[in-house]
Amino acid sequence: MTNKKIPLTSQVRDLFIVIRKNKVLPKKVMTEYCESMFDKYAFIEHKNDIEPITGLVEGCHYHIWAHVRDKGVAKSTHINAILKAFKFDTDDGICIEQIANKVLAMQYLIHKNNPEKTQHEVKDVVSNIDKDELNLMFTSDTGEVVSFDLIYTLCRVSTSICQIIKALGINVYRQYRNVVLDIYNDVKTIDLETEKEKELSKEIKS
């Protein structure tokens, strides 16, 4: 899933919101917030996601898929609405992006196209969208599913992101861009630290 970063003043109609406060939020308050801000919405609570690289359990967080009719609403307005609805002191842990692909973004709620992540059930998604329309979005074929092992291997052996794009193909890369970038940066950081340790060891021996 590849969404777009947006400035605070941008008027956005299709949003993907992530709230990471490591705490359970009242389902009723979340529903009321979505009902008051969006024409269509779907959200899910993720409690026990396993971070694929570290193997650690992530804190409780929420994903919200949302659509606003007309011209949309500024990102800053959405942030202020979240702060007010849940009585948060700061906007730390709140991420709002513009949806690039509505179906992919919806399917990310359950990690359908991300087998390396913890899988979730459609029944756990809360939404005001017609049931048939919602099920269609979750069952639509959006493209190739790529394994975590393949992406990890490509990140290890490739010397640039361009090489990974060439190996995966541009459409598959767009689908897994965030995962690729996270793994690539982590792998290259580890490799760099290993090289520094080797150099230091040589200096000590000499």
What is the model's pLDDT at position 91?
92
Domain containing 205 equals: 144-206
Distance CA 109, CA 105 (A): 7
* C-beta separation of 79 from 91 below 8 A: yes
The residue from 142, 162, 194 where one domain ends is 142
Query: Mind spelling out the 3-state secondary structure of 89-119?
Result: CCCCCEEEEECCCHHHHHHHCCCCCCCCCCC
Q: Are 93 and 8 found together in one domain? A: yes
Q: How many domains is the chain built from?
A: 2
User: pLDDT per residue over 133-182, tens digit each?
Assistant: 888 888 877 655 667 778 888 888 888 898 888 887 777 788 788 888 88
What length is written for the chain? 206
User: pLDDT per residue over 108-135, tens digit each?
Assistant: 999 988 888 889 999 999 999 988 888 8
Radius of gyration (C-alpha) of the chain in whole angstroms: 20
Q: Are 119 and 65 found together in one domain? A: yes
Distance CA 106, CA 142 (A): 11
Q: Are 39 and 112 found together in one domain? A: yes
